[in-house]
Amino acid sequence: MWNIISNYFLHTKLCFLFKIHVAYRILISLILVIRFHFSKKYMCNFPLTFFLNKKIK
């Protein structure tokens, strides 16, 4: 009996973690796409030049 309950809880925990992981990945890809789109549209290559300047210094 206890084994079934613990398996059920483990399964729900894993499902929950998997959902969080998927949501996190989707969120990050969305942020990257939006940032890329905005940087292309408004700032040309601002993040890239900023990063290169930081690297040189």
Q: Domain ranges in the chain?
A: 2-56
pLDDT the model gives residue 33: 84
pLDDT the model gives residue 25: 92
Give the Cα-Cα-Cα angle 20, 13, 19 (nearest 5 degrees): 20
pLDDT the model gives residue 1: 65
Residues of the chain with pLDDT under 50: none
What does pTM read for this prediction? 0.45
Q: Which value, to the nearest 10 degrees, does the dihedral of the CA atoms of residues 49, 54, 56, 57 take?
A: 140
Q: Which two tokens stand for residue 18?
A: 């998997």
